[in-house]
Structure 1
Amino acid sequence: MLQLVVSLGVGLATVLAVCAGLVVQFKSPRPRPRDESENYYLCIDEKHERQRLGDLRSEATVDLSIVVPAYNEEERLPVLLDDVRRYVAERRRREPRFSYELLIMDDGSRDKTLEVAMAHARKHGVRELKAVRHVVNRGKGGAVTQGVMSAQGRFVLFCDADGATRFSDIDALLARAQAAARGGLAIAIGSRNNQALSGTVVERSHVRAFLQWGFHTYVTILGVRGVRDTQCGFKLFSREAARRIFYNMHVERFIFDVEILLLARYQRIPLVEVPVNWHEVAGSKMSIVRDSIQMALDLLAVRLNYLLGRWKIAHYPEATASPGASAR
C-alpha cells in the first residue's frame, strides 16, 4: 500500500513538473524590440511634427506623464481626452506651473485612433499630446511598458483609453503615493473594490463582477496577496518606482498588471490601493472566455519563471541628465 502511494506521488509530481515545464516553455512572453519608427511621436508642433521620444532613465522634465494604451479606440478615446483636458484646466487654476505630457500609444490600430488623437490636439491646442504608432499590436501591457519607458514625468500614470475611471481621481492617487513614498519609491493603484468605505461609485455587470472575483481568487492562490483589485487600469508610479518596475517587465498582454505587483513586492516598493469612481464602458476588446483562459495560463507562466529563477530582477538604471533638462 505504501509503495502504491509513493508511486502515485512520484507520478503526480512528474506530471506536474512536465506541465510546469511546458507552460514555461510555450507560454512565457517574449517581448519584441522596438522598431526604429516607434522611437518617435507625432505632435502639433509646426516646426517639428515628428520628434524623438523621451527616456525614463533621464531626469524628469514635467510633473506628470499620462500613458494611454489604445487599440481601435477611435470611438471611446475622445471621452478620456476631454476628461484629461478638463482636469488639466482645473489643476492649472490651482497650480499655474503644472506641467504634463499625454502619451497616446496607438497599438497597431486598424481604425482612426491616431487620427482622432491628433484631431483633438489640433482642435484644442494640446501641444502636450504625443501620439506613437506601433507597427504591430503588442498588447495592452506592451503598449503601457513602451509608453512608461518613454515618460518624462516626476510621476507616471497609465490609464485605459475608454474613460471608465474618473480622471480627477488621480489627485487621490497622488496624495496617497506622496504620503507613502520611501526613498523616492511609491506606487498607487486604483481600486474598484473599496467603495463601501470611500463613497466612490462603481457600475459593473454581474458577469464582470463574478469574473473579477474568480480571477482575484486565482491570483491569491498563486501568491499575489494584499491587493483587492489587480486589474484596474489606473495606476500611478513615482519616477524611481517606474524605473525599477518597467525595465524588468516581460508581459505584454492583459496579465501585465500582476507582474507589476510581483515586481513591486519583490523590490519592497511601497504600494497603496486607492478607491476610484468607475463605470463599465461598452466596447471592451476582451473575450470573456478566451482571454480568461489565456490570462490564467500567462499568470502561471509568470509565477513559475520568477519562482524558478529564470527571470532575474535587474537593478534599474540610474537617472541621467538630458541636455537642457531639469526636474521640476
Structure 2
Amino acid sequence: MVVRFKSPKPRKREDSENYFECIDEKNERQRLGSLEDKASVELSIVVPAYNEEERLPVLLNDVLAYVQRRREKEKGFSFELIVMDDGSRDKTSEVALEFARKHNMCELKVVRHTINRGKGGAVTQGVLSAMGRRILFCDADGATRFSDIDALLGKTTQTSIAIGSRNNQALGETVVERSHIRAFLQWGFHTYVTILGVRGVRDTQCGFKLFGRQAARQIFPNMHVERFIFDIEILLLARYQGIPVTEVPVNWHEVAGSKMSIVRDSIQMALDLLAVRLNYLLGNWKINAEPRQHK
C-alpha cells in the first residue's frame, strides 16, 4: 500500500525549463548544459530556491566573498552558480539577477520552474545541468558558512562525495546552533533512518553536499524523489554503487523562514522514506550504473 501510493513520480521538464537567464552580452535565455558533457568549469553551485527573495542575498554575498578570496589565490578559478527558482511566487529570480547585475556576476544563472517540484527535484534538475568538475548543492538560506566548502573539496575526488554534517562538532571547531525541538526531531529521524538500513552517516539532511562529476553522473540520473527525503535516496544510491561518502563538520545556524513544517513534513518524510526503501528492496526501481543523457 505504501509503495503503491507513496512512490515519487518525477515529472518531465517543460521546454522552458531547459533554458537559463543570466546577464551576459546576449541578454537572452540560453540552453542549459548537461551533466554528461565534459566539465567546463571547476565548480558548479546549485541552489534550490522557493520564495527566497529575503534570504537568498545572504547566501549570494557569502558565495561572492568566497569566490573573490579564491581568485586572489587562484587566478584561473572558474565556477557557475545555478539558482533553481522552483516555481516561486515572489521575486526570487529577480533578486538573483539584480545581484548578478550589481556585481557583474555573469556566472550566475537562473532557471525558472513552471511548477514547484520540491527541493529534491530542484537540486536534481540543477545537478543534471551542471558543468563543474565538482558540484555542490547548498540551501538558499545561507545557514551553512559557505567557506566551509574548502573542507569538503579536500575530501572529494571525481568518484566520491563529501557531505556537510551538523553532528560532527567533536571532530573540529565547528559551531551548530539549532532549537531544542529541531534537535530532538533530528535525533528521532536519524534513529528511524538507521532502522531502515541507512547506516554510517550521522547527518543525512544537511543541505551542503559536494560531488565529484563522475559520482554525480552515477547518482542523479537515477533519482526519483523530489521532496525533502531526496538526501536519503542520494545516500542509498551511493551505498548501492559503492561510492565513498565522507562526512565533514560544518558551521551551521538555524535561519528563520523555513518552508518546512516540522511536524507535518516529518511524518511525510517518514512515509516517503519507507516507500523509497521498499522500492529498492523489491526491485521496483532499477539502478543504471552507466551515465546516461537526461531529457
TM range (shorter): over 0.9
Q: Work out which of the residue numbers 44, 61, 74 in structure 1 matches 2:40.
A: 61
Conservation of the 8 A alpha-carbon contact between 1:103 and 1:132: yes
Equivalent in the alignment of 2:276: 302
The offset of 1:47, in angstroms, is 1.7
What CA distance in whole angstroms lies between the structure 1 residues aligned with 2:292 and 2:190? Answer: 34
Q: Distance in 2 between matches of 1:208 and 1:318?
A: 38
Partner of 2:67: 88
Q: 1:118 aligns with which of 86, 92, 97?
A: 97
Secondary structure at 2:222 match in 1 = coil
Stretches of structure 1 lacking an aligned partner (at least 5 in a row): 1-21, 320-328
C-alpha contact (below 8 Å) 1:104/1:129 kept by paired residues:
yes
Q: Deviations over 1:19-38 (max 9, x none)?
A: xxx10000000000000000
Task: Answer whether contact 2:2 2:274 (CA < 8 A) is retained.
Answer: yes
Which residue among 84, 99, 103 is the counterpart of 2:82? 103
Specify the alignment match of 1:144 in structure 2. Answer: 123
Task: State the SS of the aligned residue for 2:243.
Answer: coil
Kept after mapping to 2: 8 A contact 1:106/1:113: yes
Q: Does 1:27 align with 2:1?
A: no
Is 1:316 aligned to 2:295, yes or no?
Answer: no
Give the percent of matched residue pairs that are identical in Structure 1 and Structure 2.
Answer: 78
Structure 2 letter corresponding to 1:173: L
Match of 1:128 in 2: 107
Count residues in correspondence: 293
Q: Which runs of 4+ in 1 moved over 4 A?
A: none
Q: Which has the larger radius of gyration?
A: 1
The counterpart of 2:240, out of the listed 257, 261, 266, is 266
8 Å Cα contact 1:247/1:316 also seen in 2: no
Please give the residue correspondences for 1:243-282 in structure 2 after superposition, counting only pairs within 5 Å.
243-282=217-256
Distance 2:241 2:234 in 1: 11
Deviation at 1:297, TM superposition (A): 0.3
Structure 1 residue 46, shift from structure 2 partner: 2.5
Equivalent-residue separation in structure 2 for 1:316 and 1:166 (angstroms):
34
Query: Per the alignment, do residues 196 and 315 of structure 1 end up closer, same or farther by CA in structure 2, a change over 3 Å counting?
Result: closer
Does residue 40 in structure 1 map to residue 19 in structure 2? yes
Query: What's the TM-score once normalised by structure 2's chain length?
Result: 0.98
Matches within 5 A, 1:158-173: 158-173=137-152
Cα offsets for 1:99-127 (capped at 9, x unmatched):
00000000000000000000000000000
Instruction: Say what the alpha-carbon RMSD is for the aligned residues.
Output: 0.9
**Superposition pairs of residues 167-316 of structure 1, within 5 angstroms:** 167-177=146-156, 181=157, 184-316=158-290
**Where does the alignment leave 5 or more consecutive residues of structure 2 unmatched?**
none
**AA in 1 matched with 2:190:** H
Q: TM-score, normalised by structure 1?
A: 0.88
Shift of 1:143: 0.1
